Structure 1
């Protein structure tokens, strides 16, 4: 390859077309990171020229370096406009053309015709020698951006409303606005012509790029990968796309046809949008291709090695491009439509319960693998059996507080087992494989193990709120019939204690000793004392005595907690609760309801009856009185709750934390990210006392990740 330093006048000053292949990523530069800094640099050079002393060779000013572009030269028949394919630097070249055209438009409105013509020569080829309308442009972007680019570069008409929100149209409008304001500034010369002439001179001659021309035999893909860190970082999917279509072109495949059939949708805003993955926000397309590759290649694919793993698999397997792209496209359609499955289907339930509520995205490859097969190859009953078996395994282990550290390897092993056996009996394979596991990190808890765990487990403290809410929702769903007004339990309800956490205020009847109080405290967070309500109960109402008579006796108004709970809920869960406790809510009723709801859990998430009974690992004991860590006041419940967690990382929302605390967060926690990281305030002390630290605080999304130190 050959590298030369060139100015825009040298790059665009003759009839030539710089074509961005359609498999390159779309235009992604924005105002904050690229347009505004570029304009600031160009403006500085222009002002330096305006203020520089004039020498023998004209005003002296240092040029501004814009970076590098890599070009490949395809064969073009004699008599046609010269063409260069842009291997790297398409964002830079597109932006430079938009800037030059915006300056040309301002020069046409406020400057001298000669300057407007000089700039027009850098954005348009000679019309007489063009054969297609788009050949007039010096740069021709990838197909997704072509309509917006053509509209933005047309000085004779407004950009259509449907294209005005595109980044290309916005970039052109930004440069027009900034150049106009600078050229016609009231604190500058009254005549804008000198400023515009200086700007034209700057844009033509005082900007520099390194132009790397590839020679025959140069590997365009290797050079592309080496330079991909420039400007806006490339997505893993961008690198994959470039690689696979370069390969397709080398084998004389129909690159345009393959791209439009299999990849074009992946370049849409939906796929490039950033979504939460743990403490990070990652483009949706990169999350998808990571899961798809695990399901496709049956190998672990680290999130930071998606492209290299893909490239190595394609090279080692000598895979055919079209079948590979077809499989990727089918997987993308499956992934994009996961939320369209009925909520009461096995797929819809698995998506909500496993992927969302249990926040176990690592099992997504399993779901993609099961959904890739048509009914004739994998009967729906086998698919559903596989999902329900895995969901049961996952929920039971979560309720028993068993580790999730080995789940990624378990998913891989399951995928290999199913792949070897074929799709026809996938459900049988999953159930048989999970039932045979004996390691602590993989065992499927039996009914007796779950009963033993839930009998005393303080679920309110040991489960994230979304997980606990999902379990109670599933119990409610299980109690509803087809005749219910609503077939499914509403989402987003609040988890409520029946016996309130502040029971000492109005619930001391029958408590005659410290052991009675300790027993009540131990039962307070168990499954039998928890329910769902349609909205947050007023704390004053939530803490009232159970019956109306007790409320009247204490001068608290005409209604007790039982009446208020019935008033705030239409759930079967609460109707049964209120009906079964007409006069009191005591320890025996809590234990009985825990046993009753546990049986519902075992019915919703069944397991093979011949599972080997294995002891549940010892739970963390509550801190003895007087041994609490040095967390202050209202934040002690957070410390206690964190100490009960088994996970290394806890993605959590601000609302979840307020549920744990039973009180609102301090206003500073919602306004200032540093508040979460300070070891000196009460919140920071509570988190540190449990051995955790706050990371990835996002005030807009109101979420963060608590990570074990």
Structure 2
């Protein structure tokens, strides 16, 4: 019978067996080296197992002599062996369960021997060890032989003398499990008169009353298909685990261990096994890399949950030689790690690719990783270093400018893949210009390259301290400071680049200005000052945090401290800008413009570039999106509170979204965001930009853009819904 999962399963057999049935006969149950290591823990598995065994014994003693307890399933596959060799099975699934049972049985054996219950102990020993007469090599001693990462620890604890201390062997998860089981058994047995009877009850219950569903496969059956089916039904394996299992199932057994050690073992070290976040999804770093690498190889945009399926398709259609594929993956992985670790260095100069990696990490995006992998593949070796640096500078400008204008990140993955498709067909000497041309030619909100005018318009008014994450603010100021110091291009100063990731954001005019910066200001002027002090021009970075007295002190005190104790050149520029008149709102505005000028130089766009070209009245469905549609689609909820965003913010101004999509200011409903904004301000305004969701910096325009990206219609969006105007 053909299974709907693919493999021929006619000869697969399922039996319900006891531990005694699994382990008593001479046998070896080998966990392939490409499977993951032992990961079960006290809270999740060891403690519940002990509690289940105790409950089982109580049920048997009290009212049900035939009671059993089901432990779960295992899948094993027969391995062809020559005469005189122990019967051997590969453990396809259930290695955690089998290993745990071996540790429990051995702990029980040691506990019985220690108490002098030798006859009971002799009943247990054949379930954990093959007799000396059956062994041809040292590891034949053990019924279960774990994956290579666990073998040393497993052998150490399973051969630990009865009277020895756990401290005599290296600390491993195996040792922890064995020690926990020994302690639990000792505590349960106690010291009463019936302790030997209790020991016999424990032995019988574990050996003959625990049940396991054993699925056995013949040597020629498709173990990989069974493995995938079991994983699809809940086995918590990562994409890297699945790919590893698939890759090494394809290789001849005699090549497996050497290939694993040479090309895959690093993926099972802490750096690669660390959980990292991409977007809103958490994965191991190895799984994330394999997704990004496969994207670079296939030039296809697919979610990370499909990486294993896509990998199998790639192997079957393109990279059919697994032996040749593994070195390619290893080379890319080594370079990937080197760039990420290099970019984490806090002191000293970085290579251009490390600096790019550091800066886009500050933006909390990793969508450029496939392009970095692609750029470093052998097929692109003819691209010159100058062009590589130009590509990185272009991409960095695209990322930074989009972050500054708060452009939606929806669709960025697709943009990078489309870019790769475009430039992969170009000759090496045209790739750098191809990247520029591709990004400059995008005019949809999901991928456009903001021009100088938009960056200036947004940054000059935005409350930068609250609108941008501190990692972004710090990265921006670090970049501006490094340019002043001659890095990464230019005449280097002796002081070197600024230490990365350590500086803190400081307000030049403090947020608590009313004490030491008092001025006779009207209520409106005070509100404007409260806004100005959060603007980019009032911010700087300090390499050593200021104490509260200096931070909130008068300008003269702060200025003297900066001149005497701080080496940040952009702060000294601010002091020069203040001149004799001191630091005030005018100085903040002038410095904001000055910093924007520098930002546009550090992250330039092509000369004459125009970013988002708005198209009005073209009949596009995008122009017809209204608040009612966003409510109906679930992107906004009825009752959502709105407040003026950014520089428009004013205390006491509030609106609410009704179920029909109208916006209520007080008791008066308005059909459009701009109409509601006009009712507050008394003049026309871009309502989509004016209104923000209360408690956030998220404008209605951001919600609309994300909705349009989700439905694939993000072209020609107009910011006007009646007589509104762009800001």
Range class of TM-score, shorter chain: 0.7 to 0.9
In structure 1, the residue corresponding to 2:513 is in which secondary structure?
A: coil
Partner of 1:704: none
Tell me which of 396, 400, 403 is aligned to 2:405. 400
Structure 1 residue 160: Cα displacement: 8.9
Structure 1 residue 218: Cα displacement: 3.2
Tell me which of 606, 609, 621 is aligned to 1:608. 606
CA deviation map 1:169-192 (0-9, x unaligned): 221222122212222x25xx2453
Quote the Cα distance in structure 2 between the aligned partners of 1:22 and 1:614: 54
CA deviation map 1:223-247 (0-9, x unaligned): 1112226886111211111122222
Structure 1 residue 279: Cα displacement: 4.8
Structure 1 residue 285: Cα displacement: 1.8
CA deviation map 1:21-41 (0-9, x unaligned): 111111111111111111211
Tell me which of 481, 498, 503 is aligned to 1:493. 503
Quote the Cα distance in structure 1 between the aligned partners of 2:282 and 2:588: 42
Partner of 2:457: 452
CA deviation map 1:55-92 (0-9, x unaligned): xxxx8141111111111112111222111111111111
Tell me which of 530, 534, 552 is aligned to 2:539. 530
CA contact (8 A) 2:129 2:142 kept: yes
Partner of 1:351: 357
Partner of 1:575: 572
Relative distance call for 1:573 and 1:374 in structure 2 (3 A) is farther
Quote the Cα distance in structure 2 between the aligned partners of 1:174 and 1:408: 47
Is 2:553 the partner of 1:544? yes
Alignment of 1:322-337 (within 5 A): 322-337=323-338
Structure 1 residue 647: Cα displacement: 6.3
Tell me which of 52, 69, 73 is aligned to 1:41. 52
Partner of 2:707: none
Quote the Cα distance in structure 1 between the aligned partners of 2:612 and 2:281: 37
Quote the Cα distance in structure 1 between the aligned partners of 2:183 and 2:702: 52
Tell me which of 602, 617, 622 is aligned to 2:648. 622
CA deviation map 1:145-170 (0-9, x unaligned): 11111111113386897973322222
CA contact (8 A) 2:367 2:412 kept: yes
In structure 2, the residue corresponding to 1:73 is in which secondary structure?
A: strand
Alignment of 1:145-224 (within 5 A): 145-156=150-161, 164-183=170-189, 185-186=190-191, 189-190=192-193, 192-215=195-218, 218-224=221-227
Structure 1 residue 286: Cα displacement: 1.7
CA deviation map 1:454-478 (0-9, x unaligned): 3333222321221112111111111
CA deviation map 1:187-235 (0-9, x unaligned): xx24532222222112211111111111365321121112226886111
Relative distance call for 1:265 and 1:348 in structure 2 (3 A) is same
Partner of 2:637: none
CA contact (8 A) 1:12 1:138 kept: yes
In structure 2, the residue corresponding to 1:468 is in which secondary structure?
A: helix
In structure 2, the residue corresponding to 1:362 is in which secondary structure?
A: coil
CA deviation map 1:415-450 (0-9, x unaligned): 222322265654333223222333333232333443
CA contact (8 A) 1:111 1:196 kept: no
Relative distance call for 1:118 and 1:160 in structure 2 (3 A) is closer
TM-score, structure 1 as length reference: 0.80
Relative distance call for 1:421 and 1:619 in structure 2 (3 A) is farther
Which region of structure 1 is more displaced relative to structure 2, 401-410 or 143-152?
A: 401-410
CA deviation map 1:472-515 (0-9, x unaligned): 1111111124334343244232222222333344434374x555
Quote the Cα distance in structure 2 between the aligned partners of 1:640 and 1:96: 53
CA deviation map 1:237-291 (0-9, x unaligned): 1111112222234xx7722232222112212233223234455543222222222
In structure 2, the residue corresponding to 1:5 is in which secondary structure?
A: strand
Partner of 2:5: none
Q: Which runs of 5+ in 1 are unaligned?
A: 54-58, 548-559, 631-636, 650-709
Quote the Cα distance in structure 1 between the aligned partners of 2:208 and 2:383: 65
Which region of structure 1 is more displaced relative to structure 2, 561-570 or 520-529?
A: 561-570
Which region of structure 1 is more displaced relative to structure 2, 620-629 or 86-95?
A: 620-629
Tell me which of 364, 368, 376 is aligned to 1:363. 368
Partner of 1:74: 79
Partner of 2:37: 26
CA contact (8 A) 2:279 2:365 kept: no
Partner of 1:598: 596
Structure 1 residue 349: Cα displacement: 1.3
Quote the Cα distance in structure 1 between the aligned partners of 2:268 and 2:351: 31
Partner of 1:680: none
Partner of 1:694: none
In structure 1, the residue corresponding to 2:88 is in which secondary structure?
A: strand
Quote the Cα distance in structure 1 between the aligned partners of 2:586 and 2:151: 72
Relative distance call for 1:624 and 1:516 in structure 2 (3 A) is closer
Is 2:109 the partner of 1:104? yes
Partner of 2:148: 143
Partner of 2:493: 483
Alignment of 1:81-92 (within 5 A): 81-92=86-97
In structure 2, the residue corresponding to 1:344 is in which secondary structure?
A: coil
CA deviation map 1:554-613 (0-9, x unaligned): xxxxxx343345566331122222344254112332222122212221222122214236
Count residues with an aligned counterpart.
618
Relative distance call for 1:442 and 1:181 in structure 2 (3 A) is same
CA contact (8 A) 1:529 1:594 kept: yes
Quote the Cα distance in structure 2 between the aligned partners of 1:570 and 1:43: 68
Quote the Cα distance in structure 2 between the aligned partners of 1:121 and 1:236: 38
CA contact (8 A) 2:401 2:455 kept: yes
Quote the Cα distance in structure 1 between the aligned partners of 2:439 and 2:234: 47
Relative distance call for 1:456 and 1:202 in structure 2 (3 A) is same
Is 2:23 the partner of 1:12? yes
Quote the Cα distance in structure 1 between the aligned partners of 2:35 and 2:195: 39
Quote the Cα distance in structure 1 between the aligned partners of 2:115 and 2:331: 53
Q: Which runs of 5+ in 2 are unaligned?
A: 1-11, 487-491, 616-643, 657-691, 705-727
Quote the Cα distance in structure 1 between the aligned partners of 2:198 and 2:451: 81
Relative distance call for 1:150 and 1:469 in structure 2 (3 A) is same
CA contact (8 A) 1:461 1:641 kept: no
Partner of 2:619: none
CA contact (8 A) 1:111 1:193 kept: no
CA contact (8 A) 1:477 1:489 kept: no
TM-score, structure 2 as length reference: 0.78
